[in-house]
A and B are shown apart, each in its own frame.
Chain A
Amino acid sequence: MFHDPAAALGAPKRITVMQGQVYVGTGQNEILTTVLGSCIACCLYDPLARVGGMNHFLLAEPSPGSGTVADQNYGVYLMELLINQMMTRGGVKSRMKAHVYGGANMHVGMTRIGDANTRFARNFLAAENIPILRMDTGGETARRVDFDPVKGRTRCKIVEPVAAPAPKPIPVPQTSGGEVELF
């Protein structure tokens, strides 16, 4: 039988939320964690349902008229995915609170993707009437975020830039979205 020393000691299970992913807590003893450069991680929490989740996105949204699909590289998709998965676990949108981290501009002189991502997160949450309780964004340093999805607590620490994975678009399989099935 598989032996998990951390679980045996009562330590929480650590779940890494990679770029392009969404994870909503299962109600077990878990800590969601990620390392961010220019990417954003949004942690949502419903204090009544005690349901929380985190996403990790690379870019805000495709330019209007670009013809680009808002896939898992984009916040506009991953925010909705997070909200929907929270709702299926008993979360109620009007009760959700947000913490937003990341959005650093890691490379001086290059496009300020971090600023654009931060702006997107703030605007998205305002449009959805989800209050931001804590926001730690910008600067030129990487961050590690830990989130307890049952208690809604977050911890954000500055880390060495080398700890942040280089952001790059995830190749999206042709069948990953937009499939049409007529009944």
Chain B
Amino acid sequence: MAENIHVLTVDDSASMRALLRAALTSRGYNVSQAEDGVAALEWLKDNSSDVDVIVTDINMPRMDGFGLIEALRGQSRFRDCPILVLSTESSDEKKARARSAGATGWIVKPFDAEKLDTALRRVTH
């Protein structure tokens, strides 16, 4: 179980947030959630010291996942924080863009909870 790992998930879909919360809390993760990049940055202003890893969608209103990753990598606190993209997209072009923005990895939806768990453990240890 991953009792000490705090994950921030960023996804505009309420249903996807519910699925992620269920999958991660059942494996012992401490989960916080935001609905887009702007909401994530707002939340992180007050809670930045808590988060071990961020999992973000790409296509979101207001600020997409690319914008969020770039904004986070510009802050010293998040320069080395693992950031995984979780998206329905899987094109090499989008992956390259995420990589250049500073993403740690890419996971394709629909997500497999076991694979997500393994990836989170790998990037946080």
To the question of whether A and B form a pair in one complex, the answer is: yes
Q: Which residues of A are in contact with B by a Cβ distance under 8 Å?
A: 61, 64-65, 67, 69-72, 74, 76-77, 79-81, 83-84, 87-88, 92-94, 124, 127-128, 176-183
B59 located at the interface, meaning its Cβ lies under 8 Å from any Cβ of chain A in the complex: yes
Contact residues in B for A83 (Cβ distance below 8 Å) = 13, 59
Q: Once the chains bind, are B15 and A76 in contact (CB under 8 Å)?
A: yes
B29 within 8 A of A: no
Is A70's CB under 8 angstroms from B110's CB?
yes
Identify B119's interface contact among A61, A76, A84, A180, CB under 8 A.
Answer: A180
In the complex formed, the residue of A with least CB distance to B111 is A178
Contacts beyond the supplied A76-B16, A176-B110: 16 A-B pairs with Cβ under 8 Å:
A64-B22, A65-B22, A70-B19, A76-B19, A79-B13, A81-B88, A88-B59, A128-B15, A177-B109, A178-B116, A180-B105, A181-B95, A182-B104, A182-B105, A183-B99, A183-B106
A120 to B99, CA, bound (A): 35
The 8 A-B pairs at the shortest CB distance, nearest first, are namely A178-B112, A127-B14, A182-B105, A177-B110, A84-B59, A180-B119, A77-B110, A178-B115
Q: Is B89's CB under 8 angstroms from A183's CB?
A: no
What total of A-B pairs shows CB separation below 8 Å?
90
Residues of A within 8 A of B105 (CB): 180-183
Question: Nearest Cβ in chain B — how far from A13, in angstroms?
Answer: 25
Cα distance, A179 to B66, chains bound together (Å): 19
A-side contacts of B112, CB under 8 Å: 69, 177-178
State whether the Cβ of B108 lies closer than 8 Å to any Cβ in chain A.
yes
> A130 to B29, alpha carbons, bound, how many Å?
31
Chain B residues positioned under 8 Å from A88 (CB to CB): 59
Query: In whole angstroms, how far apart are the Cα atoms of A65 and B21 in the complex?
Result: 11
Over the window 61-96 of chain B, the binary record of Cβ atoms lying under 8 Å from chain A Cβ atoms (1 yes, 0 no) is 100000000000000000000000001111000010
- Interface 1/0 per residue, B109-123 and A, CB below 8 Å: 111111110110011
Contacts of A178 in B (CB 8 A): 107-112, 115-116
Decide: A84 and B89 in contact? CB cutoff 8 A: yes
**Closest beta carbon of chain B to A48's beta carbon, Å:** 14
Question: B107 contacts A128, CB within 8 Å?
Answer: no
